[in-house]
Amino acid sequence: DAVTVTDQLRRKDELDKIGGPAFIARLQTAVPVASRVDYYADIVEDSALRRSLIRAGGEITNLAHQTDEELDYVIDNAEQTVLGVAERRVGDGLLELSTMLKPALESIEALEANAGQITGLSTGFRDLDGMLAGFQPANLIVIAARPAMGKSAIALNIATNVAVNGGVVAMFSLEMGKDEIIQRILCSMGRVDSMKLRAGQLSVEMWQKVTNAASRLYPAPIFVDDSSYTTVTDVRAKCRRLKRQKGRLDLVVLDYLQLMQGRNRENRQQEIAEISRNLKNLARELECPVLAVSQLNRGLEAREDKRPRLGDLRESGAIEQDADIVMFIYRDEYYNPEAIESKGLAEVIVAKHRAGATGRVEMNFLPEYTLFADLTRHPAP
């Protein structure tokens, strides 16, 4: 007690020797008390994190001296080391199951209250959203097809739909350049014949459609990288930067997976498996869906029924294993051009859905606009 201690020291004529009543007051505030334990814990945690940063700095220095490693690999590992420290600051590590039950039950109640509604990121296609409930965070979604089926078109349609509705989208195109991508988006949004646009044969009405589409597209937060040589390390670094700048990232699109480069180049199957696994890890790290376009093996062309199957995924079964959703695009019109009943129709075959149903969704496909649309929609030319 400050009063009794001060009185006792004054009686012994020692109060002035230690600094007077002011020192006693300072001493009282300096003594740790149980009521401030949270504050003291923060100090301990802060010091521990600073020591972790010092260790991380040492690890990064050692990485930088490893001249036998590729620079991109070193930079990626340096970023992961620093991010690991940041994650320890907010991460809980191992959690007891009982602590997770309440939020899990609350989540289930919320799903029940919103039964039938989209719980993830809308693709912009009603029937597809109805089957998938949208793209879920941290999911790896693969869209695969043979050439000319429209796999790049539907991926670009989904990316555009998300961005026009305010979602931040990062698109990595290893096959098409920026100009072709922009032209495709403008044609699909404006319902303008892409052949006439490329041939410079736009009418006044078509030009008006293009400018209207450009006005809608202008504020859409879609970011395009058309580097022909891209690794998952490159994608991760660019997505991390974009997410920091924008504060969020809603969708990552890669077109297409087999054109990406991995570190293991001695065996193509192992390289694709490495890329596939790293894309799944990327989705989890960014906490957003990653949509990857993929090719299919030629073998299905020899079958009577040319609808794709999971075994047709090209070069690696790891894609099937790592993906949360695998979708195939099939257009019977391509193989049977005389069949009137299949003209303008496409099937989106959901062959794998880790968290839900599989099945088929029929859609309209308008190749002149490189546009997919809900089947019940009948767009005018």
List the domain boundaries for the chain.
2-90, 120-374
Which pLDDT does position 162 carry in this prediction? Answer: 94
Q: How far is CA 242 from the centre of its chain?
A: 11
pLDDT string in tens for the chain (381-residue length)? 667 777 777 778 887 877 787 877 777 666 666 655 665 666 676 777 777 777 777 777 877 777 677 776 677 677 766 666 655 554 555 566 777 777 777 766 766 666 666 788 999 998 999 899 899 999 999 999 988 888 999 999 999 999 999 999 999 998 888 889 988 998 888 898 888 888 888 888 888 988 998 998 889 999 999 888 888 888 888 898 899 899 999 999 998 888 888 776 667 788 888 888 889 999 998 999 999 999 888 878 778 888 888 888 866 678 888 899 999 999 988 888 887 777 888 999 999 998 888 999 999 999 888 899 998 644 444
- At 380 the pLDDT is 44
Look at residue 271 in the predicted model and tell me its pLDDT.
83
The token pair that represents 298 in the structure block: 């030629």
pLDDT of residue 379: 46
Fold designation for 2-90: DNAb Helicase; Chain A (1.10.860)
CA distance 123 to 296: 23
pLDDT tens digits, 126-169: 899 989 989 999 999 999 998 888 899 999 999 999 999 999 99
pLDDT in the model for residue 252: 95
Distances (CA, A) of 251 to 28, 83, 160, 166, 170: 55, 21, 11, 11, 6
Residue 195 CB neighbours (<10 A): 11
Q: Which amino acid is at 257?
A: L
List of residues 6+ apart from 166 with CB closer than 8 A: 221
The set of catalytic residues is 175
H/E element holding 22? helix 20-30
Please tell me the CATH code under which domain 120-374 is placed: 3.40.50.300
pLDDT in tens, 353-381: 988 889 999 999 998 888 999 986 444 44
Whose CA is closest to 2, among 45, 42, 31, 37?
Answer: 31
Q: For residues 162 and 249, give the distance between their C-alpha atoms in angstroms, rounded to a whole number.
A: 11
Burial class of residue 184 in the structure, from the number of CB atoms within 10 Å of its CB (0-12 exposed, 13-18 middle, 19+ buried): buried
Q: Residue 71 corresponds to which tokens in the numbers above?
A: 């620079």
